[in-house]
Amino acid sequence: MSAKKSAAEEYLNKIHELNTHTKAPKEIKDTDFFTIAKERQSVRHYDPHFKMDEKDIREILELATLAPSSSNLQSWRFLVVQDEAAKEELLPIANNQKQIVDASIVIAVLGDKQAYKNAEKIYGEVVKKGRMTEETKSFYVNSIVENYGKFSNEQATRVAMIDGGLVAMQLMLAAKAKGFDTVPIGGFHPQKFVEAFRVPENLEPVMLICVGKAVQAGFEKVRLPLDDVLTWNKF
């Protein structure tokens, strides 16, 4: 085990230990947006016996995909890790964070760097719905293919990461609204994940998200004052 990996595991496990209070998860009865946004927490303690229904998983993902994306290309892709053996395989890749195996599922949010290839399909549906002419669609699609097709790997990855962040946040809010808890994980080894889970070359790992039933509440939110992070007009 490398020193670097040991340091990562030590840090992540220490965070897990700090969240060992016995405060029960708060029951949310009001699912309006402001309540959900305020009450969502990063939860690291899950009921390992609770299993999510596929219907709930699909509904959460359907709501997540209503998020905005660059040129509406919807570059997000999801790998749902539900099988116990697969979660055990993922555990060391995610620095042995216990929520990987205790949560009902782990959703890997991925970004398709070649999402522009779906432009015809996407905008063809817009035409079918009568919201765009065939001429306008052809202009949009040709422009998208020409411009996005020229992107460097760095540019394409940036778009995928931005889209992935947008859909990930919407996913976590949707899960909370349905009574589930989540925690986003960036502390994993992307290349090892790609190799172990046979991720296609055009897909870029954005983050992992654990979803399940909390047995302990997450940290209460501590945020910097708004004026510490807010600037008007110019720096």
For residue 175, being part of any structural domain is answered with yes
pLDDT (0 to 100) of residue 98: 96
CATH number of the structural domain spanning residue 168: 3.40.109.10
**In whole angstroms, what is the distance from residue 26 CA to residue 34 CA?**
16
- The residue to which tokens 């699609």 are assigned: 141
Number of neighbouring beta carbons within 10 Å of residue 92: 17
Closest CA to 45 of 212, 201, 208: 212
For residue 145, being part of any structural domain is answered with no
Q: pLDDT tens digits for 28-59?
A: 888 999 999 999 999 999 999 999 999 999 99
Expressed as residue numbers, the domain containing 184 is 3-67+76-112+164-219
pLDDT tier for residue 72 given thresholds of 50, 70 and 90:
very high
Residue-wise DSSP of 14-41: HHHHHT---PPPPPP---SHHHHHHH--
For residue 38, being part of any structural domain is answered with yes
Contact 232, 208 (CB under 8 A): no
* Residue ranges with strand state E in 73-129: 76-81, 105-112
For residue 153, being part of any structural domain is answered with no
- What is residue 56's three-state secondary structure? helix
* Residue 148 one-letter amino acid: Y
pLDDT (0 to 100) of residue 19: 55
For residue 123, being part of any structural domain is answered with no
Per-residue pLDDT averaged across 108-127, rounded?
98
**How many degrees, rounded to 5, is the angle at CA 43 between CA 14 and CA 110?**
95
Per-residue pLDDT averaged across 215-226, rounded?
91
The two structure tokens encoding residue 119: 């432009």
For residue 171, being part of any structural domain is answered with yes
pLDDT (0 to 100) of residue 7: 79
**In whole angstroms, what is the distance from residue 224 CA to residue 184 CA?**
20
pTM of the predicted protein model: 0.91
Which percentage of the chain shows pLDDT scores above 90? 85
pLDDT tier for residue 21 given thresholds of 50, 70 and 90:
low
The two structure tokens encoding residue 68: 């905005």
Contact 170, 64 (CB under 8 A): yes
pLDDT (0 to 100) of residue 30: 85
pLDDT (0 to 100) of residue 26: 79
pLDDT (0 to 100) of residue 1: 46
Domain count, the chain: 1
Closest CA to 71 of 159, 161, 171, 149: 159
For residue 200, being part of any structural domain is answered with yes
Q: pLDDT tens digits for 127-172?
A: 999 999 999 999 999 999 999 999 999 999 999 999 999 999 999 9
For residue 47, being part of any structural domain is answered with yes
